Structure formats: structure tokens, C-alpha cells
Amino acid sequence: MPSEILPRTGAGPRLDMTAPLTGQLQREPCLLPGCPRPDHEVVAVDAHAAGEPGRVIINGVADVPGATMFEKMRHLATCHDDLRRRMLREPRGYPAANCNLVLPPTSPSAATGFVIMEQVEYPLMSGSNTICVATVLIETKMVAVTEPVTRFVLEAPAGLVQVEARVENGHARSVTFENVPAFAMQLSAPVEVPDVGTLSVDLAYGGMIYAIADAGALGLRLTPDEARDIVRVGECIKAAAREQAPQAHPEQPEVVGPTIVCLVGPPSGRHADQRNAVVVSTGSLDWSRPGTWTGALDRSPCGTATCARMAVLHAQGKLPIGRDFRNEGILGTVFTGRLVAETEVAGRPAVVPTITGRAWVTGYARYVLDRDDPFPAGYTVADIWGAGADGTCADE
């Protein structure tokens, strides 16, 4: 069954951010001062958005240096990547896990900031993680909540994200957010994929840089039983596209890709306009080692993939401003996207997308690191992580 979303006719126009912002962060003191280090505890709330897990760290890690959330993300990646590995790898995580770190914002208009952590990168933006973070902030009362609608601003590494949540009895029943601008980067690029042949691939940015290909050309229906095949071919498409059609964000040239791949096909029913499957890397692909051609499927329809796909469809003249685009994921759940405006990014045509979806809280946890733990940064083993697994991930 698809996840609960706003009715197709009621997803609404661009978010009215002239209305009063009702969410202000109510932050508790950190349990321990300083940056992430051994022998400490973090407090997290586990959630999933339309099936995709999104852990949210709400306490136990102090602020990190950086004048922007992008700089804070870079600091974590450079100086404290052990936190990401510890929370996402075994024994605290698994290949499909994601984690978000709530931090004080750098913009006065934001209620809070957050940094997104995935298995091989720190994305600038993530739709499912944004929905998880917003839901956790509402349901833990870390922002002031008003019913039936709560509005606030989040600061992601990609920029400011306007959030509007429909709230009933203290629970977020749906979350709509206005994403950063999305844009097509290269359409119908011919990409030669080993063991597959030449594919037509669209490159687009929706918060991450995507390679988008047609599933039908690969003989795939995008059903859960095909997951292993989808992951294998998806990782190969991404690696080939990076080599043959590399892209960089025009305003942040250090952000290069594609780092993620989206396969698209027809929906399973009338409740959606498209079905997709998004492959998230869990290690580095080595063409000489087929055992490394692996990753994990996004369990949700994927918000940034939906935005990138809408940008491509708009560039092709197939999706006008103001029309809902219901995107179905591998589990049959749906995110509803809508393009609300045209804009530009570094002089190139772009669109402003919104995404509506829902998240559910699944648990509350305190994750502890003992000073004698032999695996302070977690570990990966090839039975579920693929041949690129590195065994022990000792603190560096």
C-alpha cells in the first residue's frame, strides 16, 4: 500500500513562508562537550520515511566548527568521520542505514541545522532524511508544534529548506518541504556499461548528482525480488557514468558525480505516475572485482531522486510547473513531488521542487562507545557488505 500523502489535488502551491513560522528549536544541553570521541554516548531517534531508515542524533554531540552547514559537514567528513562509520556500520548499523546529526544552525532563519551521513558520502541533501528529521523534531517537541500545521526552516548542507507539516495529536501525518533548486545537467548521454552495452543516461541534480536510466532497457520491472540485480547493474551504470560523463555542481565544484543512480519505469498502479529504484553505494566499485559491484536500494521513493527526475522531465517538456508527480518506490510507497517555480543556478535553467511524504518513529536509543571496544568505528563483512568490505574499521 502507498504511504499516506496529501491528496493529489491538495498538495498545494509553493509553501507560504510568509505565514508565521511556528517551529523554534528547543535544544537540551549536550551530554558531553566537544566533538565525537571514544567512550561517549549519543541519543538518537530511529525513524523511517516511506520505508527508508533515517536515524536522527539529537543529543550527545556538541556543535562543530563551520560558518555554514556545508562547512560543518566538511569538518565532520575531514576530522570526525568515525561518528558516521560508527553509527552506520555494524554493530549499530547495516548497509541500508542512514544517519542525521542535528546541529545548531548558522542561519538565523533556521530552527536547526542537520548533516546527513550515508555509507560512502555526506550528501548535500536527502528527501527521506529531511522528512525523518522534521518528524523527529515535531514528535519529540524539539520545535514548537501547532496544529493542524507546523512550519519551520531547516538548514541542510545544500541550503535552507522550508518545511510544512500536517500535525494531528502531536504526530506528523505528512511533511512537505521545498527543496533546493534542481536542474538537468546532461540529457541522453551515451554511456557504455561493461556487460550491458550502451545506455542513454540523464544526469541531473536534485540535492545529489544522479545518473538516471530506463529500467525497461535493462529488462527490469523494479520489484523487490529483483533487488540484487538492480543494485548490481545500478552500481555499474553509476561508475561508468562517472568515468564517461562526469559532472560537478556549478556553484560548488567540489561536489562531483554522479554519486547515485536511479532506474525508472512504469508504476504498479494508478496511485502513482512512475516507479523508481535508487541504488546507494556501500563501498567502492572495482571493475576487476565483480564482488564489489554491490550496494543497497533506497527503500523509499527517494526525495532527491524525485526532484532530479522532475527536473529532467521539465527540461524535456513533459512536466509543467504546478502538476503533481507521484513517484513510487520499490516497496510501493509514494512521495508526491511538484515543481512550483522556474529559476536559475549559475545561469542554467532550474526548477524549485517540493516533496510531500511521511515518516514514522520506530525507536528511541542511547548509543554508547566503551573505551575498550575493539571496533570504535564499526566494521563491515563481505557476507552483506560485498567484496569491498574492509573488516575492522579501527579508529584512525
Quick one: cell of 211? 545518473
Question: Cα–Cα distance between 76 and 319 in angstroms, integer?
Answer: 38
Q: Among positive and negative, which fits the CA dihedral 231, 232, 238, 241?
A: negative
- Please give the full DSSP string across 40-104, using - where no structure is assigned: -EEEEEEEEETTEE-EEEEES------SSHHHHHHHHHHH-HHHHHHHHSBTT--TT--EEEEE-
Question: Under 8 Å CB-to-CB from 372, ≥6 apart: which residues?
Answer: none
Mark whether 126 is an active-site residue: yes
**Cα Rg, the chain, nearest whole Å:** 20
What proportions of the chain, in percent to the nearest 5, are helix, strand and coil?
A: 20, 35, 45
* Residues forming a β-bridge with 361: 47
Sequence letter at residue 106: T
Question: Cα–Cα distance between 326 and 8 in angstroms, integer?
Answer: 8
What residue has cell string 562507545?
369
Preceding amide of 246 cis, omega within 30: no
H/E segment holding residue 350: strand 348-357
Task: Answer for the pair 50, 129: CB distance below 8 angstroms, yes or no.
Answer: no
Determine which one of 3, 107, 126, 288 is catalytic. Answer: 126
Task: Answer for the pair 127, 357: CB distance below 8 angstroms, yes or no.
Answer: yes
Q: Catalytic residues, which ones?
A: 126
